[in-house]
Amino acid sequence: MSIKLTIMDEMARVAREHGKTLGQLDDDVALLDSGLDSLGLAVLVARLEDRLGLDPFTTSDDVQFPVTVGDFVKAYEHGSH
């Protein structure tokens, strides 16, 4: 599964567990409009670390807070190189 598909799959799972409904997940959609709140996103990042072996937001000293869904996916794609 590609990194992007893994992220989408895990987003759907976290949304289900938290009783949230995901909106359209185009790259330019604001992450906070994705349907997940801060806690949902925090859980998502912890789960993705298990699945992808990577947490691009806490391992780097220079954290860029992702604004859009595209930023979020890109952080993982860059981090895995």
Partner 1 sequence: MSTAVIDAQPLRARVAGAAADACCFDRAASVRVADLVRGTCLCGGLATLSGRSVVIATTSQLTAALALIELDGVARRLLILPPDVDPDHLGALIAGAEIDAVVTDGTVPPQLAALPVRVVCIPSIVPLAERPRARGHTEWLLLTSGTTGVPKMVAHSISGLTAAIAPGASTEPVVWGTFYDIRRYGGLQILLRAVLGGASLVLSSAGEPVGEHLSRLARHGITHLSGTPSHWRRALMSPEIGKIAPRYVRLSGEIADQPVLDALRTMFPRAAVGHAYASTEAGVVFAVDDGCAGFPAAFLDHARNSVEVKIVDGALRIRSPGAALRYVGAGARIAALHDSDGFVDSGDMVERHGDRYFFVGRKGGIINIGGLKVHPEEVESVINAHPRVRMSLVRPKRSPFTGAIVVADIVLTAPFAAGDDEMELRDDILKLCRGALPRHKVPAAISFVPALAVAATGKLARRSA
Contact residues for partner 1, defined by CB under 8 A = 17-18, 30-33, 38-39, 41-43, 45-47, 49-50, 57-58, 61-68
In angstroms, what is the minimal distance from the CB of 35 to partner 1?
Answer: 12
Of 67 and 77, nearer to partner 1 (C-beta) is: 67
Provide the minimum distance between the beta carbon of 4 and partner 1 in the complex, in angstroms, as a whole number.
19
Instruction: Name the residue among 51, 50, 52, 48 with its Cα closest to residue 36.
Output: 48
Are 12 and 22 spatial neighbours (Cβ–Cβ below 8 Å)?
yes
The minimum distance between CB 20 and partner 1, in angstroms, equals 10
The secondary structure element, H or E, covering residue 51 is helix 38-52
Q: Is 65 helix (H, G, I), strand (E, B) or coil?
A: coil
Nearer to partner 1 (CB atom), residue 46 or residue 77: 46
Residues 80 and 18: their CA atoms lie apart, in Å, by: 28
